[in-house]
Amino acid sequence: MTQAETQKRASVPDATTALASPTIAFAMLGSGGSGVMTAAEILLRAAARAGYFGLMTKSFGPQIRGGEAAAFVTLSTQPVETQADQVDLLFAIDWKNAGRFAGELQLSTDTLVISGEAGAELPDIATAPRPRLEEINLKALTRSHKGTRPNMVALGAVAGAIGLPRDAIADLVQERLSKKGEAAMAQGLTAVDLGFDEAANFALAQLAPAPEDTPRWIISGNQAAGYGAIRGGVRFAAAYPITPATEILEWLAPRLQKIGGLLVQAEDELASINMIIGGSFGGAAVLTATSGPGLALMSESIGLAVAAEIPLLVIDVMRGGPSTGIPTKSEQSDLNIAVYGLHGDAPHVVTAPNSISDCLFTAQWSTHLAESMQVPAIMLSDQSFGQALGIVEKPAELAFATRRAVAEAPGQDYQRYALTATGVSPMALPGTPGGQYTADGLEHSETGTPSSGVADHNRQLEKRLRKVVDFEYGDHWAQIEGDGTAAIVTWGSATGPVRQAMRRVDPEGRRLRLISLRLISPAQPARLARALAGCSQILVVEQSQMAQFFGYLKAQFELPPMADLYARPGPQPFRAAEIAAKLEEWLS
């Protein structure tokens, strides 16, 4: 008798587990080619159609093909900010190398584990937490039903177990298989039904009814960032592939083409950044997307864009560093290079989205900032946004009054780098008669003529700083929630877990206050001071070993000395439970 069978007998479903739950998390495991990712994505989509919120993240082995893969999905009637602390259901199509997900996969005695491999030896990660164990003999089932696939049976079983409507699943399976013909579609449905039938044998909490039907989107942080940039007006992009930013490029390339724009694959990051500088000099709104190593390569030329006052957007989808680090896992450790990585006194803009859908807003806003101030903007997204797929509320359609200051009819006395009240000088675009000037990385006078004089250097430095410091950023500089006297100051992808933890620790929202900075640089010390007014406790939360954000706050803001810190590196993502535990300890 296998372990699964032993425990199966021991686990008798009781009535309480069949109650409705507002949030359900599941994971699907399988070796490469088993189709777990497709199955999990169909489940996510079906949940979205049914009106739920959700989040799907993926974990892979180091192989390009054939390695063990895991999909983690949390579905809820409420917006999902982060993966649940532990999964309610784990479906393993097979168990090859499943041990590599130790640390990511949190099970408990409440978890239902379904093994799709009859009589398999289960790894420690599946047995040690003593979950309920069940088995579906996928091989036998698919063998006895021609053309059915194990992942489709698994999909049906998971849907049935957590209470997703069969119709939504059936529609999606048919859409997915429509290209393969009628027979394949029928076989797909058979497989799904087999799964549903098997699931009827297991009791699990079912998802509570979906909230009122508001429009949902399924989108990844990388797609959202790309779309936000398009909404901001970006039409020209150049980039070099790098994990985990590549999906931005692959999403953008065909879509830019559709709207008359262009993405060029460059020979390296030095070329990408200079290509977009060229495009922006010509008048296009531009972007490149990369990750830490690529940003390091680009930093010299971002300095050029500061000096020559060329607007551009650089999206850095952060990953574990330094060096090649952990390309497929997230970390908030590029803050220093984004803020301080340029040579010389080089004022520029650094922004950070605080959720998957905020990647859209922040990319659009960053383009607006770059264009309005003629300055490079670096947006710090990260892998946990970029490569995660979220079911979110349809993002609002916003329009900024973005308009690059352009010299339409430059006269005799045209000066490209004129000292204006705002510090922003109208740019003559090539082709405009009378506006000819040479954009220069050399320090220059107002006309653009190279100058090493004291006065020119001081005036141009002052102008370039003033235009970004004096700009009216409005309320977008930070996300502020609650008005308790204990403030948590955080940024980027740490925001979601913090928010979720706050709901647990302070469900009535009386004690805590969230301040998540969207505008990292230029620093807004006065605004933060106002946001912190009345606080007796401050906790800074970030995913960086060296606490780069905390260091930045201490250096550039008036952070009271009592401010506490919770910082740790990746690759382990923050979970609400971890932050909540920290908050309890901190508040007591």
Site for another protein in 409-428 (CB under 8 A): 428
Q: Is 60 in the site for another protein (CB under 8 A)?
A: no
- The binder of another protein chosen from 450, 453, 525, 560 (CB under 8 A): 450
DSSP state for residue 476 in the 8-state scheme? G
Q: Is 272 in the site for another protein (CB under 8 A)?
A: yes
Entry field: residues in the chain: 588
- The binder of another protein chosen from 400, 457, 509, 586 (CB under 8 A): 400
Tokens of residue 552, six digits: 């930045």
Piece of 84-92, 139-147, 394-402, 480-488 that binds another protein (CB under 8 A): 394-402
Q: Is 442 in the site for another protein (CB under 8 A)?
A: yes
Identify the CA nearest to 145 among candidates 78, 195, 74.
195
Residue nearer to another protein on the CB measure, 60 or 473: 473
Q: What is the dihedral of CA 265, 306, 435, 413, to 10 degrees?
A: 180
Q: Is there a contact between 369 and 235 (Cβ–Cβ < 8 Å)? A: no
CB of 274 to another protein, least distance (A): 4
The C-alpha atoms of residue 252 and residue 226 are separated, in whole angstroms, by 6
- The binder of another protein chosen from 13, 344, 434, 453 (CB under 8 A): 434
Q: Is 356 in the site for another protein (CB under 8 A)?
A: no
The C-alpha atoms of residue 382 and residue 353 are separated, in whole angstroms, by 9
- The binder of another protein chosen from 97, 243, 336, 449 (CB under 8 A): 449
Q: Is 581 in the site for another protein (CB under 8 A)?
A: no
CB of 412 to another protein, least distance (A): 13
- The binder of another protein chosen from 402, 445, 485, 556 (CB under 8 A): 402
Q: What is the rounded end-to-end Cα distance, in angstroms, of the chain?
A: 50
Helices 221-232 and 356-373 sit at what angle, rounded to 10 degrees?
A: 30
Tokens of residue 153, six digits: 């049976």
Q: Is 230 in the site for another protein (CB under 8 A)?
A: yes
Q: Is 399 in the site for another protein (CB under 8 A)?
A: yes
Q: Is 118 in the site for another protein (CB under 8 A)?
A: no
The C-alpha atoms of residue 311 and residue 107 are separated, in whole angstroms, by 48
Q: What DSSP element (H or E) covers 248?
A: helix 246-258
β-strand pairing of 216-220 with 234-239: unpaired
Q: Is 464 in the site for another protein (CB under 8 A)?
A: no
- The binder of another protein chosen from 88, 94, 371, 542 (CB under 8 A): 371
Q: Is 348 in the site for another protein (CB under 8 A)?
A: no
**79-99 burial string, b = 16+ CB within 10 Å, else e?**
bbbbbbbbbbbbbbbbbbebe
Q: Which residue has the tokens 């260091």?
A: 551
Residue span 471-510 as binding mask against another protein, x where in contact by CB under 8 A, dash where not: ----------------------------------------
Q: Is there a contact between 220 and 31 (Cβ–Cβ < 8 Å)? A: no
Piece of 21-29, 98-106, 250-258, 548-556 that binds another protein (CB under 8 A): 250-258
Q: Is 277 in the site for another protein (CB under 8 A)?
A: yes
Q: Is 49 in the site for another protein (CB under 8 A)?
A: yes
Q: Is 453 in the site for another protein (CB under 8 A)?
A: no
Residue span 190-229 as binding mask against another protein, x where in contact by CB under 8 A, dash where not: -------------------------xxxxx---x---x--
Q: What DSSP element (H or E) covers 43?
A: helix 36-50
SS (H, E, C) 163-225: CCCHHHHHHHHHHHHHHHCHHHHHHHHHHHHHHHHHHCCCCCCEECCCCCCCCEEEEEHHHHH
Q: Is 232 in the site for another protein (CB under 8 A)?
A: yes
CB of 111 to another protein, least distance (A): 27
Q: Is 373 in the site for another protein (CB under 8 A)?
A: no
- The binder of another protein chosen from 320, 386, 435, 522 (CB under 8 A): 435
- Phi, psi of 26, rounded to the nearest 5 degrees: -140, 160
